[in-house]
């Protein structure tokens, strides 16, 4: 356990140095080639803080919106919670700007004082909600690499989708959680600074 924490701490420090050396600019690239799970028992969707207008507000250097993972099967399933490393890194986002350029945002590595796999059971037709704060401050554990908040301006439009991916591991098998990769529908979002 201590070795894993040390590795995560070193990774977090490298990430911080990398972001600071990068100058805080978006890194565009090709969309990630995903192997989606066929007929998954779960769906993910993005819920903007104003779902009618599709607006995600930016306050300071963070946002606040949710992603929902819904059980669409007839069986109860288990999903890792994001309070440990087993669930924390499972959600990422792919963004496309108005010129068609694409970039991906992921949680940066962070150290874990206490870390054990935790999950929630989701009954059929129910969901688990994840609060998303796309922080950019690399001095705070929990920031996002390549966050859209690095884009300048008071408001900007992006197309975005969420990707939820859980790899098969000893912990996932022992906890009997769902494993696989799914993505949300692409939605158009207006990011607006308050």
pLDDT digits (tens, 9 = 90+) for 62-114: 888 999 999 999 999 999 999 999 999 999 999 999 999 999 999 999 888 88
Nearest-angstrom CA–CA distance, 81 and 120? 7
pLDDT at 57 over 90: no
Q: Which pTM does this prediction carry? A: 0.84
Domains: count for the chain: 1
Q: Which positions ≥6 away from 39 have C-beta within 8 Å?
A: none
128-173 pLDDT, tens digit each: 999 998 988 887 777 899 999 999 889 999 999 999 999 999 999 9
Q: Which positions ≥6 away from 60 have C-beta within 8 Å?
A: none
Range of the domain at 154: 2-193
Nearest-angstrom CA–CA distance, 83 and 70? 19
pLDDT at 43 over 80: yes
Residues comprising the chain, all counted = 194
**Residues forming a β-bridge with 70:** 43, 127
**Region 114-138 average pLDDT:** 92
Query: What is the longest distance spanned by two Cα atoms in the chain?
Result: 49
Nearest to 117 by CA among 173, 42, 76: 173
């Amino acid at each position: 356990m201590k070795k894993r924490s040390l590795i995560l701490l070193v990774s977090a420090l490298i990430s911080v140095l990398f972001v600071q050396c990068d100058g805080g600019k978006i890194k565009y690239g090709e969309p990630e080639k995903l192997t989606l799970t066929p007929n998954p028992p779960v769906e993910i969707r993005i819920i903007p803080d104003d779902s009618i207008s599709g607006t995600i507000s930016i306050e300071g250097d963070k946002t606040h919106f949710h992603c929902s993972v819904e059980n669409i099967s007839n069986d109860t399933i288990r999903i890792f919670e994001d309070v440990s490393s087993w669930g924390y890194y499972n959600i990422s986002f792919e963004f496309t700007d108005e010129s068609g350029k694409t970039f991906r945002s992921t949680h940066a590595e962070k150290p874990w004082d206490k870390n054990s796999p935790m999950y929630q059971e989701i009954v059929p037709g129910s969901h688990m909600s994840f609060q998303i704060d796309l922080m950019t401050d690399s001095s705070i554990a929990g920031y996002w690499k390549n966050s859209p908040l690095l884009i300048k301006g008071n408001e900007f439009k992006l197309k975005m989708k969420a990707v939820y991916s859980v790899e098969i591991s000893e912990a996932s098998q022992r906890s009997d959680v769902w494993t696989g990769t799914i993505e949300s529908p692409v939605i158009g979002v207006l990011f607006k600074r308050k």
